[in-house]
Amino acid sequence: MSDFDHGFWSIFIAGATLLGIAACLLLLWVTARKKVAPRSDNTTGHVWDGDLTEMNNPLPLWWVGMFILTIVFSLLYLVAYPGLGSYKGELQWSTQGEYEEETRQARAALEPLYAQFTARKAEELVGDANAMAIGERLFMNNCAQCHGSDARGSKGFPNLADIDWLHGGTPEVIARTLTKGRVGSMPPMAAAVGNSDDVNNVAHYVLSLSNSPHDSVRAQLGKSKFTACAACHGASGKGNPALGAPNLADDIWLHGWGVPAIVAIINNGKTSEMPGQAGKLTEAQIHVLGAWVWGLSNKAPAPKP
């Protein structure tokens, strides 16, 4: 736990804040009491740059009044709002609460818009231009940062426009993935495979599954060692959607292609995470967004005459 979470810092900040306000009051009191011996020309005798003379005039009453009002306002503010360490204020206001309220209002305003889509299946929404325009905007605002503006992903981020799905590509599965997120984890497998030569042989065997360039001799030697991987990827390397294990026979490489990339994965393992969107998007928004994503790799049905 960070040292800044300690209760001492809350007391320190509150004390420093109140001390600063008290110092302002003290400064006003000292300056009001300090008297300078008057001169016949009503100056203090201080002159700068030859002709800038300091006059011996008291502070204007309006200025003193504004100064005091500012201090009173600051004290009232600190009572009503958070500002004294961990004290939350009598109004219990917070930026988090403000954000949640604004989000609630925005969702309430959008409910009529999404109501027309919630009762329709994703397959039907793909043919609706309005639904797809909304789905694309939702994707741009919430998903494009990782999957790219064209949804084709990049190294470590899946391409959503092809037919390769780690967990399945039905509208229901896509909606569940969007809602709850996914965590993909492959443990380091070097110890289970064997020595470094065995790991290299398995890498060539994996490449052979998709007819990618490989050393056929090494691939044959690595075939028997692949049994350590078959529990997740299957005996033929075609993956397992129930586990999110990738298909190694389709020539689609999420984390890089080639022997060095495969060896690195076998040696070090890999953990990837997609955060769930349930806290950010409503169920209706996820339904429309999921339909848009599904439509990237599935043609829209022909419109009814």
What is the per-residue pLDDT for 30?
87
Q: 262 pLDDT exceeds 50?
A: yes
Residue 305: its pLDDT value, please?
A: 46
End-to-end alpha carbon distance in the chain:
65
Give the confidence band of 36 by pLDDT, cuts at 50, 70, 90: low
> Between these two residues, 108 and 137, which has the higher pLDDT value?
137
Give mean pLDDT, residues 41-66.
84
pLDDT over 90 at 51, yes or no: no
* pLDDT one-digit tens code per residue, 163-176: 899 999 999 999 99
Q: Is the pLDDT of residue 223 over 70?
A: yes
**Res 244: pLDDT:** 92
DSSP assignment of 125-177 equals HTT-HHHHHHHHHHHHHHTHHHH-TTS--BTTB--TTSS--SS--SHHHHHHH
Question: If you average pLDDT over each of 46-60, 153-167, 290-304, which comes out highest?
Answer: 153-167
> How far apart, in Å, are the Cα atoms of 32 and each of 42, 58, 60, 69, 199?
17, 8, 11, 16, 84
pLDDT, position 107: 85
**pLDDT the model gives residue 161:** 93
In the chain the domains, ranked by start, together with CATH numbers, are 3-28+39-80 (no CATH), 99-184+275-296 (1.10.760.10), 188-268 (1.10.760.10)
